[in-house]
Amino acid sequence: MRMKTFRAATSTAAFAKVKSELGDEAVILSNKTVTENGCKCCEIVAAVEGEPARPRRNTRDGVMDAALQDSVGWQREWSQIKGQIMALMKPQMDPSRLSPKQKIALEYLEREEVDERVLTHIYCTLRETPDCAVMTALDPLLKATPFKVGSWANKFHAFAGPGGAGKTSSLIRLALRIKKERPRTRLCLATADGGRGKGRLVLKHYAELGGLAFREIITRDDFALLHQESKQFDMVLIDLPGLSGATNLEEWSCLYGLNECRDLSVHLVLNPYYSRGQFERFVDKYKSEQLASVIWTKLDEACTFGAILNMAFASGLPVSALSYGPGLKNSILPASEEMVWRLLFMRTLPNGDIQP
Ligand SMILES: Nc1nc2c(ncn2[C@@H]2O[C@H](COP(=O)(O)OP(=O)(O)O)[C@@H](O)[C@H]2O)c(=O)[nH]1
Ligand SMILES: [Mg+2]
């Protein structure tokens, strides 16, 4: 048996080291938070029987075996097939069967890059009921649950999403908003985003400035501790790291014990201008039973907003907040359905500015 100790700034980084050096078969003997040079970090002791089995990627057959085991290719192919089925269906959408108002609404949505799946669904609803008001067909497709005290039963709120999407900024802005509107709310800001990253410092800074509690989550022990002491808080907002490579949210949550928390909602932070392939990847990467809403950021940098409706249709998740500027002040609002429809039909940002 080979045994080895690994240290890294976070559990994710330490587990990545274990995986790359000892392979998937490694057994974890211990996993705790330790202090190294005055900084907290994660220490894992892992062991493996004999030599770790590594995929043979250095021969032609090895590469082929590895490629065939990889399911990503199949997923991609399936999404292409779905796209082709939709392309075949589109000519069947006969606009002359719609009223002029219904037709204009569909044209607007198409201009905003609402995808064929959603357009076909709307078309079918409108065709089935000829006098159907456009909003009657659209209403069921989009729900908003505003990110504010009272809207959410859960105490813990984790902000997930790709790096740079706006997780840390949204968390701070929403926390400051809540603090301003309801000064007595006992808020705690927690970071699980890297032991030494910039986001962590920014969060700490604003927590201190706003007189809010601040905690760091480096291993599952830290989260367990935060959970134990959470009685003293009304709301705990957790900044998650952008997950790189093959790591997905479910794996990450298991690693830190967040998956066991019944009192936790995850909010996915996204920008409307990611590509379609990227959205499909994110839906897969961030799927989780705890996923509760989508926060849309960088609306001020987008030129179409169809992605908001596409995502609502594909995931069934409500929109909880809309962010429309780089600054920390006056740049985010808890979402309402009306705000989203204004974006889609009038390109009006939540603050009233019109996007060109
Ligand atoms: N223009 C614009 N910039 C934003 C918005 N939200 C965040 N940003 C900027 O995007 C960058 C990345 O944000 P950050 O919160 O650090 O992303 P994270 O990596 O997901 O935590 C920062 O420079 C933010 O100021 C927004 O709504 N509009
Ligand atoms: Mg961040």
Residue in the block written with tokens 């976070």: 10
Q: Compute the Cα dihedral for 347, 351, 352, 356 and give only its sign.
A: negative
Looking at every residue in the chain, the average pLDDT score rounds to: 89
Q: How far is the CA of 325 from the centre of ligand 1 (A)?
A: 8
The partner residues of 41 in beta bridges, in order of sequence, read 34
Q: Which fold has domain 156-346?
A: Rossmann fold (3.40.50)
Distance CA 218, CA 227 (A): 14
Token output for 190: 């927690």
**Tokens of residue 323, six digits:** 């962010």
Pocket lining: 323 vs ligand 1, CB cutoff 6 Å: yes
Based on its alpha-carbon atoms, the radius of gyration of the chain, rounded to whole angstroms, reads: 23
User: Measured from the CA of 193, which atom of ligand 1 is nearest?
Assistant: 21
Strand 187-191 relative to strand 39-48, pairing: unpaired
Q: Is 165 in the pocket of ligand 1 (CB under 6 A)?
A: yes
Contact, 175 vs 167, CB < 8 A?
Answer: no
Give bridge partners of residue 354 from the DSSP assignment: 348
**Which of 101, 138, 205, 129 lies closest to 342, judged by CA?**
138
80 pLDDT band, cuts 50/70/90, is low
Dig out the tokens for 243 from the structure.
């997950």
For ligand 1, atom 8: residue with the closest CA: 326
State the DSSP H helix or E strand holding residue 43, giving kind and residue range, or none if neither: strand 39-48
Q: At 20, list the tokens.
A: 């790359």
Please answer whether residues 144 and 340 qualify as being in contact, where contact means their C-beta atoms are separated by less than 8 angstroms: yes
Mutate to test the pocket of ligand 1, among 193, 200, 297, 328 (most ligand atoms within 8 A of CB): 297
DSSP 318: P
Q: Which ligand is nearest to the CA of 191?
A: 2
Angle made by CA atoms 143, 144, 146, in degrees to the nearest 5: 165
Q: Is the CB of 244 under 6 A from ligand 1?
A: no
**pLDDT at residue number 33:** 86
Alpha helix (H) ranges present in 164-232?
167-181, 198-209, 220-228
221-253 tens-digit pLDDT: 999 999 999 999 999 999 999 988 788 999 999
- Identity of the highest mean pLDDT range in 72-81, 124-133, 320-329: 320-329
**Residue 183: helix, strand or coil by DSSP?**
coil
The confidence band for 262, taking pLDDT boundaries of 50, 70 and 90, is very high
Helix (H) or strand (E) segment spanning residue 338: helix 337-346
Going by pLDDT thresholds of 50, 70 and 90, the confidence category of residue 26 is confident
Domain boundaries, the chain: 1-70, 78-141, 156-346
Lowest mean pLDDT across 14-23, 64-73, 193-202:
64-73
What is residue 167's three-state secondary structure? Answer: helix
Does 242 contact ligand 1 (Cβ within 6 A)?
yes
Provide mean pLDDT across the span 167-192: 96
- Count of alpha carbons within 13 angstroms of residue 340, beta-carbon side: 32
Q: How are beta strands 291-296 and 319-323 bridged, if at all?
A: parallel
For residue 335, is pLDDT > 60?
yes
- At residue 182, the pLDDT reads 95
Handedness of CA 268, 271, 273, 278 (dihedral sign): negative
The Cα–Cα gap between 270 and 308 comes to 9
Which of 159, 167, 168, 169, when mutated, tests ligand 1's pocket best, judged by the most ligand atoms within 8 Å of its CB? Answer: 169
Distance CA 319, CA 337 (A): 8
